[in-house]
């Protein structure tokens, strides 16, 4: 799981690099005793009474404590900049016993881009095991795009990651990451609460605990990152997008730096 730095609970360079390359982070903020249990009981109640959709924030008022917590606000500030806002779209996703279909998809508009303007946050108020139908993410796919109709025919990918997590876990993901859920073979509901956050201002400087002396190392690691599902023809494109994302988050610029691996004359070596 990612950790936050001591200073203002912001992320450090390695956590932001991991988000840029993998497209997600997993956190477990230290909420008060009984918080997750309370949210879980409310989810169970709503599973019977009816899903409130975007009204989930009002249906479970204590959720505000989660997003007002400094160890949640810090990571969101780090990735979206200060002043980020919660989108009006919110939802309680319940995987009921016997649910058995895969549905790989991206939540955004299926376009390659390097900016981090929208983030999906998933909260799990209960321990999630493989048998309960956890969320699955495919690292690095936030820089890919594919029609949802085509993705629907997929089941398992090399390198996919099941979010089998303890109660009280947050998964912070790029809005474009490929994700799905697997069958729930237990007799219990599996709940996940979905929230979306938007950037308000374009970045001009790092909004996390940034150490400029680490830039060269971070960029090298972004260049050499590979995933099991990467094809040879995609490698150089993904390198370029990762570096552009890091450039944009640290400086607000979109052009490659002279001599950097995302320049066309250098990027051809990744074909």
Q: At what angle do helices 13-22 and 70-80 cross, to 10 degrees?
A: 60
**What is the predicted pLDDT for the residue at 261?**
46
Is residue 1 situated within a structural domain?
A: no
Is residue 245 situated within a structural domain?
A: yes
Domain C-terminal end among 165, 198, 231? 198
Is residue 207 situated within a structural domain?
A: no
Same domain? 178 vs 236: no
Same domain? 161 vs 236: no
Domain count, the chain: 2
Name, in order, each residue with C-beta under 8 angstroms of 38's C-beta and a sequence gap of 6 or more: 62
Name, in order, each residue with C-beta under 8 angstroms of 11's C-beta and a sequence gap of 6 or more: 2, 4, 5, 19, 25, 74, 75, 78, 79, 208, 209
Same domain? 160 vs 241: no
Work out the average pLDDT over 231-255. Answer: 83
Is residue 2 situated within a structural domain?
A: no
Same domain? 68 vs 152: yes
Same domain? 133 vs 224: no
**What is the predicted pLDDT for the residue at 255?**
60
**What is the predicted pLDDT for the residue at 256?**
53
- Rounded to 5°, angle at Cα 191 from 69 and 228: 90
**How many Cβ atoms sit within 10 Å of the Cβ of residue 174?**
26
Q: Which of 15, 71, 66 is nearest to 208 (CA)?
A: 15
Is residue 204 situated within a structural domain?
A: no
pTM, to two decimals: 0.88
Of the two residues 207 and 8, the one the predictor is more confident about is: 207
CATH number of the CATH domain containing 72: 2.60.120.620
With beta carbons less than 8 A apart as the criterion, state whether 62 and 193 touch. no
Domain C-terminal end among 198, 222, 246? 198
pLDDT at 263 over 50: no
Same domain? 193 vs 224: no
Domain C-terminal end among 198, 224, 251? 198
Work out the average pLDDT over 188-198. Answer: 96
Is residue 137 situated within a structural domain?
A: yes
**What is the predicted pLDDT for the residue at 265?**
34
Same domain? 45 vs 14: yes
Q: Which domain holds residue 216?
A: 212-270
């Amino acid at each position: 799981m990612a950790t936050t730095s001591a200073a203002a609970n912001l992320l450090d360079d390695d956590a932001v690099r991991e988000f840029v390359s993998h497209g997600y982070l997993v956190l477990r903020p230290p909420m008060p005793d009984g918080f997750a249990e309370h949210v879980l009981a409310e989810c169970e109640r709503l599973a019977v009474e009816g899903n409130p959709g975007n009204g989930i924030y009002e249906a479970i008022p204590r959720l505000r404590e989660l997003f007002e917590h400094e160890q949640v606000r810090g990571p969101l500030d780090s990735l979206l900049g200060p002043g980020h806002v919660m989108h009006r779209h919110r939802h309680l996703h319940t995987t009921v016993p016997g649910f058995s279909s895969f549905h790989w998809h991206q939540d955004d508009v299926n376009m390659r881009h390097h900016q981090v303007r929208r983030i999906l946050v998933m909260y799990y108020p209960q321990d999630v095991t493989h048998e309960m139908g956890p969320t699955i993410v495919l690292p690095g796919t936030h820089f890919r795009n594919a029609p949802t109709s085509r993705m629907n025919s997929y089941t398992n990918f090399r390198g996919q990651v099941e979010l089998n997590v303890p109660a009280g876990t947050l998964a912070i993901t790029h809005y474009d990451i490929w994700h799905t859920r697997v069958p729930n073979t237990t007799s219990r509901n599996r709940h996940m609460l979905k929230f979306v956050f938007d950037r308000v201002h374009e970045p001009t400087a790092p909004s996390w605990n940034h150490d400029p002396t680490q830039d060269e190392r971070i960029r090298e690691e972004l260049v050499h990152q590979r995933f099991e599902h990467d094809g040879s023809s995609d490698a150089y494109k993904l390198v370029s997008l990762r570096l552009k994302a890091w450039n944009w988050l640290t400086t607000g610029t979109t052009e490659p730096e002279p001599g950097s691996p995302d320049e066309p004359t250098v990027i051809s070596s990744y074909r």
